Amino acid sequence: MTDPISDYLTRLRNALKAGKKSVDLPSSKFKEALSSILKKTSFIEDYKVIETEKKFKMLSIKLKYSDGDSVILGLKRISRPGIRRYVNHEDIPRVRNGFGIAVVSTSKGLMTDREARDSKVGGEVVCQVW
């Protein structure tokens, strides 16, 4: 797999369109950090890491719905393996006038666009969620 983050976002998008309550996918520290941000910003209900018999970890994400509709309306990958998007803290994009988040990979770890602006640290814009 060349782009595991795109795979993560695509699995979320497909599960939401199918109306699933949860989705399972291969785990990594980056995906766990991304799931933590989505939980902290109330885009997903919960996530947990499951150890399998073959000694690799799976990430189980419990999706969040409001009145039968998904809380997540859109997911967009910004920085890809072929085209990396780096910005300083002044140029971090605002998503849907603040109703969404941009996830930024910084030297201090993964954080939302607001946290990165407040910390005055730039980095790679990974994705946008609204």
Q: What is the pLDDT along the chain (130 residues), one digit of tens a residue?
A: 799 999 999 999 999 999 999 999 999 999 999 999 999 999 999 999 999 888 899 999 999 999 999 999 999 999 999 999 999 999 999 999 999 999 999 999 999 999 999 999 999 999 999 9
Please state, as a whole number, how many other Cβ atoms lie within 10 Å of the Cβ of residue 33: 16
Q: What is the pTM of this model?
A: 0.93
CATH T-level topology, domain 75-129: Dna Ligase; domain 1 (3.30.1490)
Indicate the CATH number of 4-69 among 3.30.230.10, 3.40.630.30, 3.30.1370.30, 3.50.50.60.
Answer: 3.30.1370.30
What contacts 24+ positions apart, CB below 8 Å, involve 103-108? 103/34, 103/37, 103/127, 103/128, 103/129
